[in-house]
Structure 1
Amino acid sequence: MLALQLKELENDGVLVKTIYPVMPPKTEYRLTSFGETLVPVIIAMEKWGRYYNATHREEESSQA
């Protein structure tokens, strides 16, 4: 499933995949310049996730 999602991101121009001819096989992914435009969105999602977790913990504590 992860390989499929990575392939889709590569096809969409978000990621670049580099395969190194070593044993065991080594593969690296990096953001393209287009993919880097997603960084503010990712940061905003992280901020929201932290807010959600803090809020959710407070609700669980009050219900206990």
Structure 2
Amino acid sequence: MAPVEIPWTRIDMDLYEVARDGYIVGYVEVVGSVFVALGGTRYDRAVEVAQHLTFHAAVDAVLRRSA
């Protein structure tokens, strides 16, 4: 069985980096009880693509945007 890639890495208290095939494709920022999905390779230029109530849904939104 092939290993499953975990597409996110915690980079700050409320910020996660999302990658696909080793390349950064976006971020998930925790804002209160909402997970904000941000698309883009640089955090300072990333664009909000969705807001979700679960972390995994926000990561999926970032990954879908990058596909």
Answer whether TM exceeds 0.5 for this pair.
no
TM-score (norm. length: structure 1)? 0.25
Structure with the higher fraction of residues in helix conformation = 1
Q: TM-score, normalised by structure 2?
A: 0.24
Q: Which is richer in strand?
A: 2
Higher relative contact order (CA 8 A, sep 6+): 2
Q: Which has the larger radius of gyration?
A: 1
